[in-house]
Amino acid sequence: MRRFRSVLLPALAATAALTLSACGGSSSGDNPTISQSGGATGAPLAASLPQSVRDAGVLKVGSDVAYAPVESFDTDGKTIIGIDPDIAKALGDQLGIKLTLQNGTFDGLITSLRSKRIDLIMSAMSDTPERQKSIDFVDYFTAGTSILVKKGNPSKINGLDDFCGKTIALQRGTTQDDVAKAQEAKCKTAGKPLKVLKFDRDTEALLQVKQGRAVADMNDFPVAAYNAKTSGGGNDFEVVGEQIEAGPYGIGVRKEDSQVRDALQKAIQAIIDNGDYAKILDKWNVKQGAVTTATVNGGK
């Protein structure tokens, strides 16, 4: 699913314990903050940042840490692991600062960014024209929406039209939320209303599918594939159909912070060119989503 939200714990068994596009308040105040270090020594792009950022030595990064393999808590319940934390570390090494991940509710991240409670967003957030009206994006990955159903696909779901007359679950404030709204209209016209259950965390939505209260969830493709492979030892879910509306994930930046945005673009391009980016995607088995050029506001 591309998060409006383009991203869960390593296994759904951890769903209850936990429980990685919008308005609403951030929930970061009662969640841990985890730092991804970037050393100043030998940082080739440090001079590209504003002096105020260099002096502070840190950028606070908002992230909904519930979206493995993009971002999730490790087994200690504190350490953030995944694609985004690894990329944040690599960017910090290029820029000579720390990118500190701060957990929050996904649909409050843009509000938190604009109100300066955080400095950036890295949370499998899809770069879309609607979001570009309020913030800028530096694009670093590509993902589309995948449909995740109970293992064996008992409800015979193979595409969006198969949702009609049924109940699905998803995370609110996501791209998938918009996909579902459009499908609700189609199903209503067809005389077979679609019921959509919406939750703050995708782990909660997946639990509805696992327990049979919903026939499907929608995730970004790397998240769907990861959960199909790992949840219940691969016995809980399966991915069906083709990817829907593939597009870029972006690092969210305030529009007035153009120097930070441009420095991030240079840093992403640097890790693409030096091979660190490819190593990270290989580590998490998501190389299908690789980009070759770091772009700004590339979402269409």
pLDDT for position 41: 55
Contact (CB, 8 A) for 122 and 83: no
Does residue 114 carry a pLDDT above 50? yes
Lowest mean pLDDT among 17-26, 110-119, 226-235, 290-299: 17-26
6 is a domain residue: no
Residues 55 and 148 in one domain: no
194 is a domain residue: yes
Residues 37 and 135 in one domain: yes
Structural domain including 110 reads 12-142+248-296
pLDDT for position 150: 97
Percent of the chain topping pLDDT 90: 77
Give the pLDDT mean for 16-34: 37
Single residue among 245, 265, 288 that ends a domain in this structure: 245
Does residue 88 carry a pLDDT above 80? yes
Give the pLDDT mean for 135-149: 96
Lowest mean pLDDT among 28-37, 263-272, 286-295: 28-37
pLDDT for position 62: 98
pLDDT for position 291: 96
Residues sharing a CB contact under 8 Å with residue 6, sequence separation 6 or more, in sequence order: 124, 125, 126, 127, 141, 142, 143, 144, 175, 220, 247, 248, 249, 289
pLDDT for position 240: 94
Single residue among 206, 222, 245 that ends a domain in this structure: 245
Nearest to 128 by CA among 287, 25, 252, 225: 252
Residues 223 and 255 in one domain: no
Single residue among 245, 260, 285 that ends a domain in this structure: 245
Residues 137 and 231 in one domain: no
pLDDT per position as a tens digit, 194-237: 999 999 999 999 999 999 999 999 998 888 989 998 999 999 99
Does residue 19 carry a pLDDT above 90? no
For helices 83-95 and 258-274, the axis angle rounded to 10 degrees is 100
Residues 17 and 130 in one domain: yes
Does residue 18 carry a pLDDT above 80? no
Contact (CB, 8 A) for 244 and 176: no
pLDDT per position as a tens digit, 47-87: 999 999 999 999 999 999 988 999 999 999 999 999 999 99
Residues 263 and 162 in one domain: no
Does residue 40 carry a pLDDT above 70? no
Mean pLDDT of the chain: 88
Chain Cα centroid distance, residue 254? 18
